[in-house]
Amino acid sequence: FNAKSATCYVTMLELLQRASGELKYIVDGDEQKEFEVSPQLRRAWTSSGHEAQVRMLEDGPKEDDYYFKLLAMNVVAQMDEWAPSQDDLRFVCCYDISPDEESGFYSSKMADIPQGATEVLDRIKGNPLPREDVVSWVLRRLLPSPSDLPSSSNSSLLDDNTSVISSAMSLTSGASTRGRRTRGGNIVSLTAAPEDPYDPNSLAFGGVGKSTIAALVATKEQVRKEYNAGIVWIDVGNRGVYGFTYDEYCDVLSSMCLQLKLKDQPKFSELVNVPGESRIELERRESKMMLEARDKVSGLIRGRRGALLLILDDVWRNQDLELFRFKWKKKKLCDILVTTRVQGLLASDFVNIDFLSMDEGIQLLLAEAGQSPDHVISTSVEAKAIVRECANHPIATKIVARWLGLKHATAG
């Protein structure tokens, strides 16, 4: 029994204790305690030469089990013969890997591609533009990476932090998170440049591909693995001055639960008409009932294993966004990806989608005109002139391209 065996033993016990606390949270509704570095863990990691990881834990987020699990995996994996296999270690740290019943090989659970994303991409003629630069920006804001996690205040540890987290995350490749992530509550907004840059209330340009980008993100394998508890697509749309009615909101929540394939479907209270009730009184009563409906759905998804992503398409009001911020007590239960033309939407991060580059514009022009990517027009001055006249706007380019395809079909 040496320093390495003690480190492995104490770390595994700590993981078990955290898992027990999570189970009590799910089953009994107990509030999860903030993580604290125990004296036993500090002593064991220090004795085996992992002082840097101890300091990273002390400086890191106290409520984030995910951060602790990454460091624990990194430490335990270095314990030579005392360390469990990588598959067992991933399982203990709540990374879902299970053998395929037919092949016997390990496979990762992935969320299904939401029907809403499929419908958006199906409306595109041919293959959608990859828009890799924009998609990568969105992925950086949604998926965990070394830069997402806090580094120690000690500058000499900065490189060590990055290498430690990167090596720990490499152990999770091919697997997806199974334990509930405390990263829930992250809201990423997809928007565009304002139509009037001098007007703070100006709407962002429409038709630049916000919904398409969101759909492309939903199809990415790394996103489907990360959000293995489910990816839900909800068409919000412009609901006018008053936003959702109670019945509309309940229909959307029911659709969400069906997308998640919840075993227990929610039963919402019925809104009863009250004679002589004013519009203001009705709005107050509807608002209260909608929050109750949201809490009811929160109770159904709070015990769901893994991370959950909501994609809210075409949001116009902060009040509508607030209706989908599901939480249980202080714990936020999902991340949200929003597409919107509203500049002042309350989000934690923003990605501005620019107009098409010249190459992207020509690719779109050829695809929508029904021509192959290597068609002679792809290198012509005329194609560039068309894209330029369309101001590199996707919708304008698509309309002209389809007209061009129609002329080819009718006039040759």
| Whether the predicted pLDDT of 383 surpasses 50 | yes
pLDDT at 170 over 60: no
| Furthest CA-CA distance within the chain | 85
pLDDT of residue 71: 81
Q: How many residues are present in the chain?
A: 412
Confidence of residue 150 (pLDDT cuts 50, 70, 90): very low
How much of the chain exceeds pLDDT 70, in percent?
81
pLDDT digit string, tens, across residues 324-356: 999 887 788 899 999 999 988 888 888 999 999
Inter-CA distances, 266 with 112, 216, 250, 263, 269, Å:
21, 30, 9, 10, 10
The stretch 148-162 carries a mean pLDDT of: 42
- Write down the pLDDT at residue 154: 40
Q: Determine the Cα–Cα distance for residues 181 and 65; give it in Å rounded to an integer.
A: 7
Higher-pLDDT residue of 67 and 97 is 67
pLDDT, the chain, mean: 81
DSSP for 274-326, written as a single string: -TT--HHHHHHHHHHHHHHHHHHHHHHHTT-SS-EEEEEEEE--HHHHHTT--
Select from 324, 404, 313, 342 the least CA-distant residue to 121.
313
> For 311-323, what is each residue's pLDDT tens digit?
999 999 999 999 9
Q: Reply yes or no on whether the pLDDT at 100 is more than 90.
A: no
* CB-CB contact of 235 with 314 (8 Å): yes
**Measured on CA atoms in the order 118, 124, 127, 131, is the torsion positive or negative?**
negative
**Percent of the chain predicted with pLDDT > 90:** 34
pTM of the shown model: 0.70
Comparing CA positions, the residue from 187, 226, 140 lying closest to residue 335 is 187
Residue indicated by tokens 């709407």: 203
Element housing 176 (H / E): strand 176-177
Query: Out of 145-154, 262-271, 310-319, which region has the weakest mean confidence (pLDDT)?
Result: 145-154
Q: What are phi and psi of 185, to 5 degrees?
A: 110, -5
- Which amino acid is residue 159, in one-letter code? D
pLDDT in tens, 13-58: 888 887 777 767 666 666 666 667 888 888 998 988 888 888 887 7
pLDDT confidence tier of residue 384, bands split at 50, 70 and 90: very high
Decide: 223 and 309 in contact? Cβ < 8 Å: yes
At residue 28, the pLDDT reads 65
Helix or strand holding residue 22 (H, E): helix 3-28
Neighbours of 147 (CB within 10 A): 10
pLDDT in tens, 181-231: 445 788 999 999 899 988 888 999 999 999 999 999 999 998 998 898 899
DSSP label of 242: S
